[in-house]
Amino acid sequence: MINNLQALLLSLVVTVTSLYSVHAQCNDVTLASITNPGPYNVETLTEADGLRNGPDYLEATVYYPTNGTPPYPSIAIVPGFTSGPGAVRAWGPYYASHGIIAMVIGTNDRRAFPDARANALLDALETLRQENTRVSSPLAGQIDTNKFAVSGHSMGGGGAQRAAVLGSNIKAVVALCPWLQTFNRPSLDHSTPVLIFSGQNDNTAQPSQHANIHYNQTPDATNKLLYEVKNGNHSVANSPSAAQGSVGKLTISWLRLQLDSNNCYCPLITDDLLDNSSTASLIQTNISCGTLSVDEYNNDQFISGVYPNPTNSIITLESRYTNTKKYDVFSIIGKHLITGKINSNKEEIDLSSLTPNIYLLKVDNQVVKILKTE
């Protein structure tokens, strides 16, 4: 048994190093790291600089980082009924300062309904695609055209949701106090992760008639989050500084999670921004933060999951339990530290006595790496 374990330990050296690296990256992801503005310098592009003049929108401005690491993800943002781009302009430099290209647009008709605003957003994304190949553009080759998001306020928020239904290749939606007609309400059947903000005291798009319906009618299989700002009005999410900065921090975290697949931001959302939030009057979500592990669980294996991982104390071992089994915990160099019995399909294991390090949890011939933190 010792020889087999030593051989297994040797084979894990590379993946263990990777796990250390992942955790080190997550240590840098904190609420304090999501500042306003962010760490990057920002410049702008307009049609006067050669930006495409799309047929389905007006008054476009692109905000982009100048000292980040391309290629960059992007988001297109449209205002609400009768409003011009200035209503949501605060988001442009904020996103860009965090390494996300932001294109703020207006509509051809300021009284346009949500589907027209959806088309405006889709047209804006086409402009960004073309900007990526325009030779004289400062963004040539610097736009990740596989990482597009859409956003909007009021009817623009409804338009952002509809853009996810009507378009393709959209990876995230940020709906700011969204509005959709209550009669013949259009479909919200899409699979794009959506973050919805609403205002508790919004008399224009009352949450019970709009944002809450957006949340409920977006399929349960779609990742979704509703954040109702306490005492907020219809314009409460038009700036990232709203709700003591929670609106901006939550949005950046959502986009990093959905656009970049950076799972470090998931617990930041669920634990730091949503748990006991003092600025929210209602929170609804179906997202859960999965196991941070380099192990894969196959259908024929006993262990089906271990979480939370990393952990600072207790882990839960999920298994295909049929009868009592023994588990063992080893140090990374093979020293036996803990033993116990698995008596259910969800067994809690207390690691609080161990110092921060990487450990190996072994059941039968299956081994899972655990990262114990302070």
- d(Cα 268, Cα 271) in Å, to the nearest integer? 6
Q: Is 202 a catalytic residue?
A: yes
Q: Are 214 and 156 in contact (CB under 8 A)?
A: no
On the question of a cis peptide bond just before residue 71, with omega within 30 degrees of 0, the verdict is yes
Closest CA to 121 of 99, 94, 151: 151
Q: Is 123 a catalytic residue?
A: no
Q: Which helix (H) or strand (E) holds 258?
A: helix 246-259
Q: Computed over its alpha carbons, how large is the radius of gyration of the chain?
A: 24
Q: Which residues pair with 195 in a beta bridge?
A: 174, 225
Q: Are 113 and 82 in contact (CB under 8 A)?
A: no
Q: Are 84 and 60 in contact (CB under 8 A)?
A: no
Q: Is 153 a catalytic residue?
A: no
List 74, 98, 234, 239, catalytic entry? 234
Closest CA to 229 of 249, 258, 253: 249
List 98, 202, 214, 293, catalytic entry? 202
Residue with tokens 């930041």: 268
Closest CA to 350 of 327, 333, 325, 332: 327
List 83, 137, 151, 154, catalytic entry? 154
How many Cβ atoms from other residues are within 10 Å of residue 76's Cβ?
Answer: 29
Which of the residues are catalytic?
154, 202, 234
